[in-house]
Structure 1
């Protein structure tokens, strides 16, 4: 005899099937795949620091509205350190460094193949910080995917180490750290709240810095600049994390991060369509090879060291993003 209605029993997020998590991660990847071409658009009339910092300042306004609309409680004391790492990685690190790399002459395609190593870096951080234990098969498939991306970069002439390459490498390390901490925090609170609080935490820096940059750099808001800046603000800096952090939490950081192996290929396609950068047979072959590696990583087993976090997250009504006023 049942003593409690199963519909009212909170279900820990870690107990949900990983399939939905992988779909959410894939949606995040699709959103992020437009980031580099959109940044190129924004740079047509806007200073790179305005693009890198200003998008987080503007996204912080959206975050404040979302949090106020549900009267969200502040994070627990033990969560602020993880939020600080997320801020350093995904609010400041990746946006600023990747934008500077593009401003230093790296094309969107060049940047895409270098940042293609991000899944491997995220998997490593997942092992170090999130207690995950990928199998040997996972590592072999992930390494093969990283090798495909690296080989593609070399074939396309991206193997030379330049200042832009160093900036991109630093950007992907920063993003990997921010993704891992965000995914870890999303086990305790919804992903949209993680990125919202991260943007609010950064606002005392991003807002005044953006105001000063706008006053001193005299941006030219062309159609492309507005479109590009608007995209990286609304989607890359904010809405993309709704799906991405949830995907990392539900499917596991190491496994979900491997869906990003498809991101450089998608970015190359958008670069060809939007920026008229060439797409040849090599790109098609690399796309097939990378997608095969992604499929293999999803079949590999990912273990997680059991942890009991205080205030473990549940699928209660308060955890859901509001759909109405």
Structure 2
């Protein structure tokens, strides 16, 4: 019994570490796109993280994935290695990181919805009520602040949340068989043949004009957001349970707001905090009435 309790606690701590790391992703991306092309940033972060992923797989002699696990790994790669980084990088050319963080409040809901589609879960009817309320809150905020926001940026952020939710749900489902950290490492390896040429093609003609802040942003999203964060996150899901640990994502917007204010000196209006609180409450209610029956997982 003590061993089970320790394992569960370890899962929650790992999940919290992952959320804290992910909270810096949007502010760091915002810094990076100030001096780097979004397509180069997307390719470079995945290439750097993929090279480190190869080293980890070789160092720990990870088993090769089975054939049935290849397509789910491709989905993970398309969602969290390519889709979310590229769409958010493009969006952050139109909106501030603080504004983009509002949409991250929908990420647990997006993950849960794809858990229904991909995992066959059947939540209670109240689940869909909270889902609708949370979505309505975000739409209302976007419409209310249409003069200050960008329709293009908002559309890109919504698309990013959709593909990331798919990547999270598929990765969480796959981690039950493949293990925790191996999921993101193999997804990065699969992405290398596309991401490396992308980074090369959109490499800046001269690096002299790129600020140090942009390089620091690239370093953070490559090392922490693209690799280390997922090592903690998928390990947390594997040890603590997908449904339980997944709720820690609800804290991510708050952490992101603090980082955006401290690092980028971005203003965070009260309305933005209020709508995030509403979204978090709705997502928490939706998760409360969603039925989850996780299968045994490997700690990986």
Quote the offset at 1:27 in angstroms: 2.8
CA contact (8 A) 1:87 1:199 kept: yes
Cα distance in 1 for residues equivalent to 2:284 and 2:7: 17
Q: Does 1:172 align with 2:172?
A: no
Task: Work out which of the residue numbers 115, 124, 140 in structure 2 matches 1:135.
Answer: 124
Cα distance in 2 for residues equivalent to 1:95 and 1:150: 22
Change (3 A) 1:147 1:257: farther
The aligned residue for residue 96 of structure 1 is 86
The aligned residue for residue 227 of structure 1 is 216
Change (3 A) 1:20 1:146: farther
**What TM-score results when the alignment is normalised by the length of structure 1?**
0.79
CA contact (8 A) 2:106 2:283 kept: no
Greater CA deviation, 37-46 or 238-247? 238-247
Structure 1: state its 5+ residue gaps.
1-6, 307-311, 320-325
Cα distance in 2 for residues equivalent to 1:254 and 1:61: 31
Greater CA deviation, 24-33 or 221-230? 24-33
Q: Secondary structure at the match of 2:122?
A: strand
Quote the offset at 1:20 in angstroms: 5.1
Structure 2: state its 5+ residue gaps.
none
Quote the offset at 1:186 in angstroms: 0.6
For residues 15-41 of structure 1, the C-alpha deviation after alignment (integer angstroms, 9 at most, x for no partner) is 998665444333322211111110111
Superposed, which structure 2 residues align to 1:114-125 within 5 Å? 114-125=103-114
Superposed, which structure 2 residues align to 1:15-34 within 5 Å? 21-34=11-24
Cα distance in 2 for residues equivalent to 1:272 and 1:36: 12
Change (3 A) 1:86 1:224: same
Quote the offset at 1:208 in angstroms: 2.3
- Report which of the two structures shows the higher radius of gyration computed on alpha carbons: 1
Quote the offset at 1:224 in angstroms: 0.5
Change (3 A) 1:263 1:305: closer
Superposed, which structure 2 residues align to 1:1-325 within 5 Å? 21-103=11-93, 105-157=94-146, 162-214=151-203, 216=205, 218=207, 220-250=209-239, 252-253=241-242, 256-286=245-275, 288-290=277-279, 292-293=281-282, 296=285, 299-300=288-289, 302-304=291-293, 314-315=298-299, 319=300
Quote the offset at 1:99 in angstroms: 0.4
For residues 165-203 of structure 1, the C-alpha deviation after alignment (integer angstroms, 9 at most, x for no partner) is 222222111111111111111101222110000101111
- Give the total of aligned pairs: 298
Change (3 A) 1:159 1:250: farther
RMSD: 3.1
Structure having the higher helix fraction is 2
Cα distance in 1 for residues equivalent to 2:123 and 2:242: 10
CA contact (8 A) 1:53 1:95 kept: no
Q: Secondary structure at the match of 1:188?
A: helix
Cα distance in 1 for residues equivalent to 2:298 and 2:250: 30
Quote the offset at 1:78 in angstroms: 0.7
Cα distance in 1 for residues equivalent to 2:8 and 2:132: 22
Cα distance in 2 for residues equivalent to 1:158 and 1:257: 34
Q: Secondary structure at the match of 1:133?
A: coil
CA contact (8 A) 2:36 2:204 kept: no
Change (3 A) 1:143 1:245: farther
Quote the offset at 1:134 in angstroms: 2.9
The aligned residue for residue 322 of structure 1 is none
CA contact (8 A) 2:49 2:226 kept: yes
